[in-house]
Structure 1
Amino acid sequence: MTASAPRRVAHDVLQAVGESDAYANLLLPAAIDRAGLSTADAALATELTYGTLRRRGTYDAVIAIAADRPVQDIDSSVIDALRLGVHQLLSTRVASHAAVHESVELVRGTGRGASGFVNAVLRRISRDTPGDWMTRVEQSARSDDERLGLMFSHPVWIVRAFRRALAAEGRADELEALLTADNASPRVTMAALPGLAEVPGDARRTPFSPFGFRLAGGDPESLVTGSEGRVRVQDEGSQLAALALTRAEPVRPGERWLDLCAGPGGKTAVLAAEALAGGASLEANEVSPARAGLVRRAIAGVPIDVPVSEEDGRVRAADQPGAYDRILVDAPCTGLGALRRRPEARWRKSPADVPSLTELQTELLTAAIVALRPGGIVAYVTCSPHLAETAGVVAEVRRGFGGAIEELDAREVVRSIATTDPRLPDQSDGSGRAQLWPHRHNTDAMSISLLRKV
């Protein structure tokens, strides 16, 4: 007997994520299609994959205790089978015997003793309750930060970064709520591009974006395809970030806009719809050819010509000083604000990634300001609340330009757009930065800063 198809698909995706740096959100749908899974089996494969990725840190601590060895000493194929098994034992209603048996089948024939090892470890775990195992994991921590990291399955450095970002708003006591939200599966949020599509009558409006909604039921893909992309899947925070630039002040016909780091194109589509409505022109740039292709597909349904270049954004902007009225810098970042949707990112990034990213972010924002005309506005956006990537970058750039730029109150702009007050608190550094949060706004942790060239 072999492992069931949904578990085999989940195991294969986990292997690719761990060994090839694959992205689960891209790989899993294709794997489900190849396997020909039914709707129910596809749902099981999805739950097993994302649930295991989200809780990997906690499950590794359980496995290390039960196996009496570090998880680093266990073969990658075996550890992924164990993680899947632990997820089923501790976080689902799958019968214990089925969880153990199916996990054993995943490693049968992969190596001498592998199936016996998986069987022994999972049977050991199955003898005690999830609560018992959480108590053991908690007791194994050497500090409070490590305890939170193990219990909520986040690397310690991310726990600390989140605490500092929340403390900047005087809300450090919300840390556990944020970590909990990161481990919950987000609901699908849709956008009806303004002026080009209508929100379905039976949909539920989202609380902040004027064109955001959630479907009452059904497959969003058919709605997206039927609308030629004018209705699309898009996080509400992403919608607000694009609108913060286009609605910071009234649009004057003839304005020239630039989306400097456009891939994969969701915000570009919103900008294109807004440019069409306001009589502005829009250009997009994306250094990655593959992502540039995604941008072109994202804007295909908007009846406006948007040229997409494939250059280094720093060069693209700096080559045209004073040319643009509005620029979006949706900068490459750690992605710590989207851990609900991309749970593997928490295991893929490290503190060592931050300095090189902040250097790139600073250079991109600096180049964008050079490309602004006097009076022009740049929106600096990151899908990360990390203070080094948000407040730190803006502060560095402002120091570099002195009095040549001023910061606008992005919080007030977002409030003026939102259909419900998002209650964005002041930042301790006195900036006008708007920070959205999964646990508070049910969005990605999107940071939005607005700068005007004086």
Structure 2
Amino acid sequence: MTGRDDRPAGGVRGERPVGERHGFRPADASSAGRPGGRPAGGDRFGRGERPTGDRRGERTPRGGPRRPAVDLPRYAAYQAVAAVHRDDAYANLVLPSILREEGLVGRDAAFATELTYGTLRHLGTLDAILTAAAGRDVQRIDPPVRDALRIGAYQLLHTRVPAHAAVSSTVDLVRTVGPGATGFANAVLREVAGRDSEAWVAHLAPPMETDPTGHLALAYSHPQWIVRSFTEALGGDLGETTRLLIENNERPPVHLCARPGLADAVELADEVGGVPGAFSPYAVYLAGGAPGDLPALAEGRAHVQDEGSQLVADALAAAPVEGPDGSWLDLCAGPGGKSGLLGALAARRGARLTAVEVAEHRARLVEQATRGLPVTVLNTDGRSVGRDPSLPEAHFDRVLVDAPCTGLGSLRRRPESRWRRQPSDLPPLTRLQRELLAAALRAVRPGGVVAYVTCSPHTVETHVTVTEAARRCGVPVDFVDARPLLPAGMPGLGDGPTVQLWPHRHGTDAMFLAVLRRT
């Protein structure tokens, strides 16, 4: 529900897949519409019967089970994309297990990762192109065949896989997952191959001059309502909106957080083969590999966390308070990335952090993330301030509200979420955000500070929520200028007092930060 997960969107980064047997060399990407699903049918338009066999799509002929006669990295990508659309799974959770199950490592794993995330990022444009190439709505194609065609179209339009290899390998895949549709798939993909990505966009997108939102949505594969919200948050600047959409379609690096007092960012960078971050004093950028295998993470000296999340948590710790400074609160702590950083900072100052998480399984993640730190984890609702004896009013010196949100600021890490979120998600989320912020303002003592954070730049979740909550909370508050709480020299922080970080400006997720002091 939250979009607040500090973990990266799985897979491998750094080593670009160039395996000759896949015929793959990476190319620049650019464009993309929406997923859906219908039951399997069985006709020449792509609704072929599902093969019998196990969940990996293996068929069972008379001689017994055999593996599908398809390239394994492509088949792994198909399994991940199909799970996202069939089961509402998240690619960063399902893909690593698929790669392990198929025994894929190195370039094979990188190629499967590229196909999975590239297909999901460009899904909208791919679907629009497949609809035109098939002469029928893509949603009327049997789901297994549809997902295979999406992966094939991505190879044709956004990689340097030779067209004949992309077509033949996709037809092989369709032969396994929808055997009655191979002729259909071959015809559709040959039609797709007749134009490059830019030519397809020019053919299908409305003119920029008359419908800029519609043009950008199709050209850069975002729903129109999200493009509109980004444009509004960027003050109507279409050029900057375009740069943001392009950045959302790039693969983000993995960011590590070197926990203060337990690790130094420069030393950690040397240890893991990364480089220190641009802004956060704790950030390390990883060039590739699987961060979960690093000893620094297993030993609790570091954790995976976007640099933007590090910056907003550190801003709360840097804000001046009047009076004592020993009792901190994280009101929406799961899965524990910001609690881990705040707990390490609290330990160095002799303070203690209370981390609140309403979901039991996420509370357990917070406990794991903060083991060995001065952190108490409460499995309760953050809105129960004043009703729960462990959350007294006017008690805490610093409070973080990392509110559940649409997650529009982390679309580059979770590409499938752009197709799942709807404008109808906003009213219940913004109501919850206001209630949590009001609870935080009751929990902080006079002279203390509250940091309100969302991983979304949508103005309804940022400026509107914080203004309404401050007006209605029933306690006197002032806004604190958040810009001086971030590293000196950071560009593009606006006019204050709030701060909006951006992928295209800062290389971070689009984190919003407002700091308020109870007076």
TM-score grouping bracket, smaller chain normalisation: over 0.9
Give the Cα–Cα distance (whole angstroms) in 2 for the partners of residues 316 and 34 of structure 1: 46
Structure 2 CA distance for partners of 1:91 and 1:318, relative to 1, 3 Å: farther
One-letter amino acid of the counterpart of residue 185, structure 1:
R
Q: Which has the higher contact order (CA 8 A, sep 6+)?
A: 2
Decide which moves more: 177-186 or 395-404. 395-404
How far off its partner does 1:411 sit? 1.7
How far off its partner does 1:395 sit? 0.8
1:381 to 453, 456, 460: 453
| Aligned residue number for residue 257 of structure 2 | 191
Tell whether the 8 Å contact from 1:327 to 1:377 is kept in structure 2 after alignment: yes
Residue 441 of structure 1 pairs with residue 506 of structure 2: yes
Tell whether the 8 Å contact from 1:252 to 1:279 is kept in structure 2 after alignment: no
2:481 to 399, 406, 409: 409
Mapping for residues 208-223 of structure 1, pairs under 5 Å: 208-215=279-286, 220-223=291-294
How far off its partner does 1:304 sit? 2.5
SS of the counterpart of 1:113? Answer: helix
2:491 to 414, 422, 425: 422
One-letter amino acid of the counterpart of residue 349, structure 1:
R
Give the Cα–Cα distance (whole angstroms) in 1 for the partners of residues 213 and 395 of structure 2: 48
Tell whether the 8 Å contact from 1:254 to 1:281 is kept in structure 2 after alignment: no
One-letter amino acid of the counterpart of residue 219, structure 2:
M
Give the Cα–Cα distance (whole angstroms) in 2 for the partners of residues 413 and 4 of structure 1: 51
One-letter amino acid of the counterpart of residue 425, structure 2:
D
Residue 91 of structure 1 pairs with residue 172 of structure 2: no
Decide which moves more: 378-387 or 172-181. 172-181
| Aligned residue number for residue 391 of structure 1 | 463
Decide which moves more: 86-95 or 202-211. 202-211
Give the Cα–Cα distance (whole angstroms) in 1 for the partners of residues 338 and 421 of structure 2: 24
Q: Greater helix percent: which structure?
A: 1
SS of the counterpart of 1:390? Answer: helix
How far off its partner does 1:419 sit? 5.2
| Aligned residue number for residue 147 of structure 1 | 215
Decide which moves more: 16-25 or 199-208. 199-208
1:62 to 122, 126, 129: 129
Unpaired segments ≥5 residues, structure 1: none
1:164 to 207, 224, 232: 232
Give the Cα–Cα distance (whole angstroms) in 2 for the partners of residues 205 and 420 of structure 1: 16
How far off its partner does 1:223 sit? 3.1
| Aligned residue number for residue 134 of structure 1 | 201
Give the Cα–Cα distance (whole angstroms) in 2 for the partners of residues 110 and 423 of structure 1: 48
How far off its partner does 1:129 sit? 2.8
Residue 452 of structure 1 pairs with residue 517 of structure 2: yes
Question: How many residues end up aligned between the 2 structures?
Answer: 443
Tell whether the 8 Å contact from 1:263 to 1:291 is kept in structure 2 after alignment: yes
How far off its partner does 1:252 sit? 6.9
How far off its partner does 1:402 sit? 6.3
SS of the counterpart of 2:450? Answer: strand
| Aligned residue number for residue 364 of structure 1 | 436
Mapping for residues 29-44 of structure 1, pairs under 5 Å: 29-44=96-111
Tell whether the 8 Å contact from 1:289 to 1:310 is kept in structure 2 after alignment: yes
One-letter amino acid of the counterpart of residue 248, structure 2:
D
| Aligned residue number for residue 143 of structure 2 | 76
How far off its partner does 1:409 sit? 0.6
Structure 2 CA distance for partners of 1:341 and 1:224, relative to 1, 3 Å: farther
One-letter amino acid of the counterpart of residue 302, structure 2:
V
Structure 2 CA distance for partners of 1:173 and 1:130, relative to 1, 3 Å: closer
| Aligned residue number for residue 310 of structure 1 | 379
- After superposition, the C-alpha distances for 1:307-340 in whole angstroms (9 at most, x for unaligned) are 2122122125653211211111101100000011
SS of the counterpart of 2:319? Answer: coil
How far off its partner does 1:15 sit? 1.3
Tell whether the 8 Å contact from 2:475 to 2:518 is kept in structure 1 after alignment: no
Structure 2 CA distance for partners of 1:163 and 1:318, relative to 1, 3 Å: farther
Structure 2 CA distance for partners of 1:210 and 1:226, relative to 1, 3 Å: closer
Structure 2 CA distance for partners of 1:226 and 1:383, relative to 1, 3 Å: closer
Decide which moves more: 111-120 or 290-299. 111-120
Structure 2 CA distance for partners of 1:91 and 1:58, relative to 1, 3 Å: same
SS of the counterpart of 1:148? Answer: helix
Structure 2 CA distance for partners of 1:22 and 1:227, relative to 1, 3 Å: closer
- After superposition, the C-alpha distances for 1:279-301 in whole angstroms (9 at most, x for unaligned) are 1111111112222222122112x
Give the Cα–Cα distance (whole angstroms) in 2 for the partners of residues 157 and 217 of structure 1: 33
Q: Percent identity?
A: 50
One-letter amino acid of the counterpart of residue 311, structure 1:
T
Instruction: State TM-score, norm by structure 2.
Output: 0.81
| Aligned residue number for residue 103 of structure 1 | 170
Structure 2 CA distance for partners of 1:130 and 1:226, relative to 1, 3 Å: closer
- After superposition, the C-alpha distances for 1:248-282 in whole angstroms (9 at most, x for unaligned) are 12697662111111111111111001100111111
Tell whether the 8 Å contact from 1:224 to 1:231 is kept in structure 2 after alignment: no
Residue 5 of structure 1 pairs with residue 72 of structure 2: yes
Structure 2 CA distance for partners of 1:270 and 1:36, relative to 1, 3 Å: same
RMSD across aligned positions (CA)? 2.1
Give the Cα–Cα distance (whole angstroms) in 2 for the partners of residues 281 and 231 of structure 1: 19
Give the Cα–Cα distance (whole angstroms) in 2 for the partners of residues 204 and 112 of structure 1: 48
Decide which moves more: 370-379 or 50-59. 370-379
Residue 322 of structure 1 pairs with residue 394 of structure 2: yes
- After superposition, the C-alpha distances for 1:398-454 in whole angstroms (9 at most, x for unaligned) are 21146711111112212xxx1542331116xxxx11100000000000000111111
| Aligned residue number for residue 276 of structure 2 | 205
SS of the counterpart of 1:108? Answer: helix
